[in-house]
Amino acid sequence: MKKQALILDFGGVITKTLFETHRDTERALGLEPHTLTWQGPFAPETDALWQDMCADKITERDYWQMRTKQVGALIGTDWHKMQDFVMAARGKMNPLDFIRPEFLTTLAKVKQASITTAILSNELDLFYGKDFRHKLPFIDDFATIIDATYSKILKPDPRAYQAVLDALNIEAEQTVFVDDQWRNIVGAQKMNMQIVHFDVMNPANAYQNALDLLAIK
């Protein structure tokens, strides 16, 4: 069956992770260089919280909630929302500074091939604020954005994937789904989507895998 849609997670897939922009965060918050040492998937053996998340002892939201409180404490602020952390770290940056260039290249190729694109995120507006998406010059290229900030249905719940399929009026087998969290990939695979587990340490390869599945050169 011909693939007709590319469905992307947002954080980590379209944007660089906060792990990758620690130095930018430190500058934005007035912290000494190398104050932030947790590295998530880049050094899981040194990040106990990340290990707990990967073992399903805590959720991804739990992980970032704890990191939010820790970083807030470093600057004497009692942050309760991940959005507070993200906006303080990235709010004054040009959004394109933390958008993956590999994504922009892939999006251009997908558009040229007349393939539909969509976002399926657990926390786009929860983390970035409801106005952030309007700062992105490519946001209107997406046919739909399903955000659990509002739906309250988190991947890997089957209903999250079904929501984007229904919005696109498409069969699961006609889609390629890309996410950096393995549990979400497993959820998509159970729905019969074609999948790409996004390696944040090799974004170019992950996007190339997606293009290959879409038969785009």
Half-sphere exposure of 175 (CA within 13 A, CB side): 28
Alpha helices in 33-119 (DSSP H): 48-54, 60-74, 82-90, 101-112
Burial of 49 (0-12, 13-18, 19+ CB in 10 A): middle
Listed as ranges, residues in the chain with pLDDT below 70 are 1
Query: Residue 80: what pLDDT?
Result: 87
**Spatial distance between the Cα atoms of 107 and 155, rounded to a whole number of angstroms:** 23
**Spatial distance between the Cα atoms of 24 and 97, rounded to a whole number of angstroms:** 10
Say which amino acid occupies 181.
Q
Query: Residue 1: what pLDDT?
Result: 65
Residue 145 DSSP class: E
| Other beta carbons less than 10 A from residue 194's beta carbon | 21
Instruction: Decide: 182 and 55 in contact? Cβ < 8 Å.
Output: no
Instruction: Decide: 206 and 178 in contact? Cβ < 8 Å.
Output: yes
Q: H or E segment at 26?
A: helix 22-29
Task: Return all residues near 23 (Cβ < 8 A) that are at least 6 apart.
Answer: 33
